[in-house]
Structure 1
């Protein structure tokens, strides 16, 4: 659990980067505005976490799932966030799956190269026509 209230804030650099990506080029964000954005984002995350936790507890679960968060968004009347977040979540899951598959392929290729390294004089030709 957080010891101080400030420990619950999202990192300013992350919030600033997200805000800059959402704004057109050439627009700067004042220091006070960055602080307010960071605090607002933190409060929103805590609010959604609390709502999702309530849903999980109603279902006698201790672990929050993505569906709890989506249901919390609906119950707190943030319905317009659900579809974009579901799309982003599906994209994230696909990215994770692709990354895992790439790592497995890389590992298999690495192990395969070790096992297939054969000296030229060890190769034996076989005539399969007979």
Structure 2
């Protein structure tokens, strides 16, 4: 019996974007699964990229998570450079990884509630200084 092939990088990316958006909304895998009529285990497989998400299912997920389908493909591997906006060649998976962590998600949610742009700027400066970024 042949060994199972590894997940496609696009499927992994789309799954990570599903996870990111679900976490940004504070939605559990169970709740997303209920909304789609599938189990949370299936959501786990989608988020890891081990199971590919079909087009109609992806459209349904986008509706439930209140984003356009294109959200799931932003910064996907193999995106032409001219479509990347600023021509960055490094993948931005660190952003997804950060926002998928509980600390990153909490920090992001708290930060966006700060309305004063001067206060936001000072917080960015503080974090930079703590991180050693001059």
Coarse TM-score class (shorter-chain normalised): under 0.3
* Larger helix fraction of residues: 1
Select the structure with the greater relative contact order (CA < 8 A; seq sep ≥ 6): 2
Using the size of structure 2 for normalisation, the TM-score is: 0.25
Q: Flag the structure with larger Rg.
A: 1
In the superposition, the TM-score normalised over structure 1's length comes to 0.26
